[in-house]
Amino acid sequence: MVEHFGAVANMVRSGELRPEAVDEVIAHFCRVNRVAREEFDIHLVEAKAEWFRLSRLEWKVDLAEFEPVVEEAQRKRQEWRDRRDEEYAEANEDQALYEWPYLHTGEPM
């Protein structure tokens, strides 16, 4: 939680965490690092500045080495969709044949 202190504040605002969680995380930081609250405050200001600096950068992620894995996952996902659609069509063939002519005519079924 110390590494993602902004997330802690967001979770308190959303009600996922109790408000005391902020103080507990700060106390943990101070205890582990053997520092006073003032040191935490300085660290937090520096961490926020670094976060803002990094957030303004335009990031490029090169996933070329993972391209074969991504393609394989996409292929498997498409195969699963095809099987699912085929199984659905087989299971509902009679109903689909009955309904099909009426879907486009506007006539009641």
Kindly list the domain boundaries of the chain, sorted by start residue. 5-56, 64-103
pLDDT over threshold 70, residue 104: no
CA distances from 7 to 25, 50, 66, 85, 86 (A): 12, 16, 29, 40, 44
* CA-based nearest residue to 25, from 15, 14, 12: 12
pLDDT over threshold 70, residue 107: no
The pLDDT, as a whole number, for residue 1 is 84
Model confidence at 15, in pLDDT bands (50, 70, 90)?
Answer: very high
The pLDDT, as a whole number, for residue 108 is 53
CA distances from 73 to 65, 86, 87 (A): 14, 20, 21
CA dihedral 74, 79, 80, 83 (to 10 degrees): 160
Quick: pLDDT tens for 67-101: 999 999 999 999 999 998 888 877 776 665 555 55
